[in-house]
Amino acid sequence: MRNISPEEYNRHIKRILISEKEIADAVEKAGLYIDSLYDGSPILLVSILKGSFVFLADLCRSVSVPCEIGFMAAKSYYESTSSSGIVNITMDLKQDISGYNVVIVEDIVDTGRTLKDVVKLLSARNPRSLKVVTLLDKPDRRVVDFEADHSLFVIPDLFVVGYGLDYGELYRGLPYIAEYTEFPDL
């Protein structure tokens, strides 16, 4: 674990980009969007770890349709603010998804590589339907052709942390989404 003082930790937060209230309102709307798609049929929310765990926790409480939860883990950023370009599925889903209405829950679509790979993988397992909901979309950074079915916020090309998103595994517990700066003013 990195040794970082609380002062140093906070100095890297440049500004709040999306507040707790804005997130809560958008998550409520995302729940209504999901409900509208399935007309009461059960769904499986698949959280792509680690970044989506906070969003998943709120989203699963904002949907009204019967809902199961599953987890997968993918990793493409390693102690850096830019993607390595290589997506590793580090933990696969435990359940068979054939016949399921699957909703992939992601924290951010950046280059698009992670979700393109995950969608390809899960599509091959014969789900009844497959949708993607992402908390954040950063279209300026896309290098592969990929669009989520529902994005809560479209953001500019800034490195952001909080509400599940990290820098070097820190900041995931912030209740808002903030711009991270590597080189804060002294």
Active site residues: 110
Shortest gap between Cβ of 143 and ligand PRP (angstroms)? 8
Residue closest to ligand PRP, measured at CB: 51
CA triple 80-176-183, angle to 5 deg: 40
Shortest gap between Cβ of 52 and ligand PRP (angstroms)? 6
Under DSSP, is residue 73 helix (H, G, I), strand (E, B) or coil? strand
In the complex, the residues that contact ligand PRP under the rule CB under 6 A are: 48-51, 74-77, 83, 87, 106-114, 166
Rounded to whole angstroms, the Cα distance separating 78 from 75 reads 8
With respect to ligand PRP, which residue has the nearer C-beta, 51 or 127? 51
Is the CB of residue 144 less than 8 Å from the CB of residue 161?
no
Shortest gap between Cβ of 128 and ligand PRP (angstroms)? 24
Shortest gap between Cβ of 51 and ligand PRP (angstroms)? 3
Rounded to whole angstroms, the Cα distance separating 124 from 54 reads 27
40: left (phi over 0), alpha (psi -120 to 50) or beta: left
With respect to ligand PRP, which residue has the nearer C-beta, 2 or 21? 2
With respect to ligand PRP, which residue has the nearer C-beta, 23 or 38? 23
With respect to ligand PRP, which residue has the nearer C-beta, 62 or 83? 83
HSE (side-chain half, CA atoms, 13 Å) at 119? 21
Residues 6+ apart with CB under 8 A from 69: 44, 45, 47, 56, 60
